[in-house]
Amino acid sequence: MNKKIALLLPIRSVVFALIFIAGSMLVNKDISEISNWWSVAATEVNIITIFLLVAVAKKNGETYWELINYQKGKTKISQIIAVSVVILLVGMGGMCLAGYLCYRQFPFPAPMMIAPIPAVLAVINIPLLPITTAFAEDGLYLGCGVNQISNKTAAILIPAFFFALHHSFIPTLFDIRYVIYRFLSFLPLTIILCWYYHKKRDPLPIMIGHAIIDIATVMQILATSTIPGSYETMSGM
């Protein structure tokens, strides 16, 4: 394994922060005023990440699929179902618990994550965001993280840390409570995912479960973008 590849783990955190900072300067708005564009930015960063992973894999004489250790026919349907259920339960549970710890609300509606965008983009993003996120995030943190670190504990905790951390910058807001909320929301789940992958070396159940939970998010954004009054209702405003 090429341990230098693991140095890519912080890249998404940096890129997202730079995008929102540059974006706010470009349109001359406060960074919080463009936070609703996070899902569009995420899709774009995902595509860039996927191209980067393909290039890194090629440079090391392998394919993207080899980088993430995908083996056709290895995965059982029962594994996909079980992991998808765990992702949904731990993912939603983590967000609810973090929302209570940081905002004293249970559940915390996280209004910044479901803010409306132009309806056309909301529709286009329904397939794009979940699919590209699975390939980009899981490819990076599992393929370039777990697979590249020899020490078992480090191979789980280091990628899990950066896996959770980059969510703190989607969208980027200069609010420490929000940053902590986002990090704590995802850390339990990312530790479990990295542990599972380290044990099974099978990315497919994780990628499918990851896509499912993101589908729920883009459907909420679609609703707030197309149904009058839904954002106020769903965000508890």
Tens digits of residue pLDDT in 121-146: 999 999 999 999 999 999 999 999 99
Q: Read off the pLDDT of each residue in 41-52 and give the average, rounded to a whole number.
A: 97
Task: Provide the token pair at 108.
Answer: 């915390």
pLDDT at 114 over 80: yes
Contact between 211 and 133 under an 8 Å Cβ cutoff? The reply is yes
Domain spans, the chain: 3-234
* pLDDT (mean) for 216-237: 86
Beta carbons of 127 and 219 less than 8 angstroms apart: no
Task: Give the residue among 225, 188, 232, 11 at the shortest CA–CA distance from 87.
Answer: 188
Checking if the pLDDT of 88 tops 60, the result is yes
Mean pLDDT score, 187-216: 97
pTM beyond 0.75 = yes
210 and 137 in contact (C-beta within 8 Å)?
yes
pLDDT at position 1? 54
CB burial class (10 A; 0-12, 13-18, 19+) of residue 116? Answer: middle
Q: Report CA torsion sign: 206, 207, 212, 217.
A: positive
pLDDT at 140: 97
24-52 mean pLDDT: 96
Q: In the predicted model, is pLDDT for residue 42 greater than 60?
A: yes
List phi, psi (to 5°) of 170.
-120, 95
Mean pLDDT score, 55-70: 95
Cα separations (Å) of 152 from 86, 99, 149, 155, 156?
A: 22, 31, 8, 5, 6
Tens of pLDDT along 151-184? 999 999 999 999 999 999 999 999 999 999 999 9
Greater model confidence, 79 or 110: 79
Residue 33: per-residue pLDDT: 94
Helices (H), the chain: 11-26, 38-59, 64-67, 77-103, 119-138, 152-165, 176-200, 204-226, 230-234
Question: At 208, is the pLDDT very low, low, confident or very high (cuts 50, 70, 90)?
Answer: very high
DSSP 144: T
